[in-house]
A and B are shown apart, each in its own frame.
Chain A
Amino acid sequence: MTSSADAADDRGRAFRELVEPEIEVMLRVARTMTASDADAEDLVQESLLRAYKGLSRFDGRHPRAWLLTILRNTNANMHRRQRPVLVDDTQLHRESRPAFGAAERPSAEQSFLDEELDEELHAAVAALDARFRSALILVDVHDLSYAEAAAVLDVPVGTVMSRLSRARERLRRTLGPTRLSRGGLS
């Protein structure tokens, strides 16, 4: 094998190691930006293609934030005439539950939430201002860090923090202490 083939192999291996742990989160975040699961998958694949081409420009730090920035830019390029980053389309997520029913969902323990609280949460999240909702969904639902959410939204970290804080305060007040302390959640 030639040394250039070795280098290509190393590059491919390094890229796979960076990306593989992030596939699921990329799909989840992509799903909040697109209208269907198939579109989300296309967006992730297109983003990976771009990321691989731009690998030499990556500084090696914070791969998830790097990939999410590429995801955001790719989405903007692919759908210039469509809505910008949605993230907040909670109604869409409800309708996109798998047609196979509850048994196909990840597991009972993962998806179990008192039905009443679940409904109230939907209403409370839907009532949030879209900018606050985006920050909340990225950090509390998708478990992104402040910096990763900032990369998706293309805003400074401080903006994510203030939007998140206001979203949480509003939800906490809407749901109230009684609601939140029931169901063994606290």
Chain B
Amino acid sequence: MSGTVRMMMTCHWSARRIQRYLDADPSAPLTPGEVARLEAHLAVCERCGPMVAEHRALHRALSLWSGRPYVDPAAVDRVRTFLDELTDGRAS
């Protein structure tokens, strides 16, 4: 198998794991072996390395995005008061 084909197969393998790697979600963790293999590939691949940077940028943009619903701190306070009343037996 040529080096190019091997690299492409690793790109394919990596692309399927990049989001799980970045999310590090407890429901779908990568194994330490997968993390090591992925990081080794990202360090040398001109295609996959920038893809990771783009995914990070996208996540950051979405967290700063104005479409993010705004929650009024006063609403949080009112729900907290409701919670107090509920657990004190004053709400029904």
Residues in chain A within 8 A of chain B (CB atoms): 8, 11-13, 15-16, 19-20, 23-24, 26-28, 31-32, 37, 40-41, 44-45, 48-49, 52, 90, 93-94, 96-98, 105-106, 110-113, 117-118, 121-122, 125, 136, 139-141, 143, 145-147, 157, 161, 164-165, 168, 171-172, 175, 177, 180-181, 185-186
Contacts and interface: CB of A to CB of B under 8 A. Distances in A.
5 contacts: A45-B82, A94-B67, A111-B66, A141-B62, A177-B54
A50 B65 CA distance: 33
Contacts of B88: 12
A98 B62 CA distance: 19
B86 interface: yes
6 A-B pairs with least C-beta separation: A12-B87, A186-B57, A180-B57, A185-B57, A140-B62, A113-B64
Given A27-B75, A45-B82, A48-B86, A141 B68 contact: yes
Contact of B28 (A122, A161, A177): A161
Contacts of A49: 86, 91
Contacts of B26: 145, 147
A17 B91 CA distance: 18
Chain A binding site: helix, strand, loop or mixed by DSSP?
helix
Nearest to B50: A177
Contacts of B72: 37, 98
B69 A31 contact: yes
Interface in B17-61: 19-20, 23, 25-28, 50-51, 53-61
